[in-house]
Amino acid sequence: MNVTLYAYNLVEKRVRGKDILDVNCFEKDFIKCIEILNKQNLKSKSYKLLNKNKIIYIDRYEYLKDSHILFMVFKSAEYGLIRKVVNTETMEEQKNKKKGKKDGDEETTCVVIKFDGKENSKEAVCLLQVNAHGVTMSKIFEYLNMKIIAIHNADNDNIKYRINHFNIISKDFLKALEKANKIKTVKLVIDSELTGNSEFKDYANDNEDISNEFEIIYKPSNKIGIGKNTVKKFFELYGREGADIKKIRVDMNVADGNPLSFDTEKMKEKEYVTVTDTLSQEPNVDELRVQMIEKIKSY
């Protein structure tokens, strides 16, 4: 079976706050936290994702110290979906096979990370197995960030950081930009932490049904439109270490006058691998591990 991998940049950032300390070595601390988390029992290391009837936990990991590569396997299960089960030959309902409200189908999602290798580096690159029924990169790091903070809180060391992820963008983004005849708007998505103190930010943080992301929309100051070089500068900022821009969306007209929109979310850098599938129609994790580790080495 064919498996798609999405590529991401990872950046470690200290959480703002009085007396909060940053970590000395991102790679070393992250591996230590993964080791601690993995040793916990299933109930302790599992986590209910925000705004979803889904749980996640780390199942296992492998750390290749000399290569600065970490491979992780996450398990997830969505619950609360109760459907009638029928025999597709007889069309009879199988009442004894119906799931309960807390029962969920377990899914596997694999991730591989390659750290920079430098002692004081805050950066890493990452490949994620795309699984529509599993978990996304956002949900994986929602889980890991919460657990890492909890581990440091237990140590009472005042260290608190979070890991932000950013899409590694395909060269097709800049190719698409060259087709622009008139750029009408540029939308930047940033984290609400960058907006400083405000009642709007506080309201978003206090309500789980509101995202912690804010949008900034730039409009042209003249009829000509926003310049391509301006968009390219935003793109350069997006790709820098510790970048604050999470997504860029461009709305434009092409030469024939038709509208076109594209963004960094839809133009992710992708990799493709082929592995055998299991009886449960999932990719063979051992084969996927080998290929994902090999792919990440080229980043």
Is residue 17 within a helix (H) or strand (E), and if so which, with residue range? none
Phi-psi region of 183 (alpha: psi -120 to 50; beta: other; left: phi over 0): beta
Tokens 């932000």, residue located: 164
Q: What is the pLDDT along the chain (299 residues), one digit of tens a residue?
A: 999 999 999 999 999 888 999 999 999 999 999 999 999 999 999 999 988 889 999 999 999 999 999 999 999 998 766 667 777 777 677 776 666 656 657 899 999 999 998 888 999 999 999 999 999 999 999 999 999 999 999 999 999 999 999 888 777 777 777 877 888 888 888 876 666 555 655 655 555 556 667 888 988 888 888 888 888 777 777 766 556 777 788 888 877 767 777 777 777 788 999 999 988 788 999 999 999 999 999 99
Q: SS3 of 52, please?
A: coil
Is residue 189 within a helix (H) or strand (E), and if so which, with residue range? strand 180-191
